[in-house]
Amino acid sequence: MQKNLTDQELVQRTLTGELSAFEKLVRRYQQAVFNIVFRILRNKEEAEDIVQESFIKCYQNLDKYDQGRPFTPWLYRIASNLALTRVRQLKRHRLIPWDTASSQLADRNAVNPAASLEAVEIKQEVSSYLAL
Helices (H), 61-97: 71-92
Query: Long-range CB contacts (< 8 A, 24+ apart) of 24-30?
Result: 25/58, 25/71, 26/55, 29/72, 29/75, 30/55
Instruction: Return the pLDDT at 79.
Output: 98
Q: Each residue's pLDDT tens digit in the chain (132 positions)?
A: 567 999 999 999 999 999 999 999 999 999 999 999 999 999 999 999 999 999 999 999 999 999 999 999 999 999 999 999 999 998 877 755 555 555 555 555 556 666 667 767 777 777 666 665
Task: State residue 16 phi and psi, 5-degree precision.
Answer: -90, 5
Query: CA-CA distance, 83 to 50, in Å (whole number)?
Result: 6
Query: Number of helices (H) and strands (E), helices first, in the chain?
Result: 6, 0
pTM > 0.75: no
Cβ(76)–Cβ(25) under 8 Å?
no
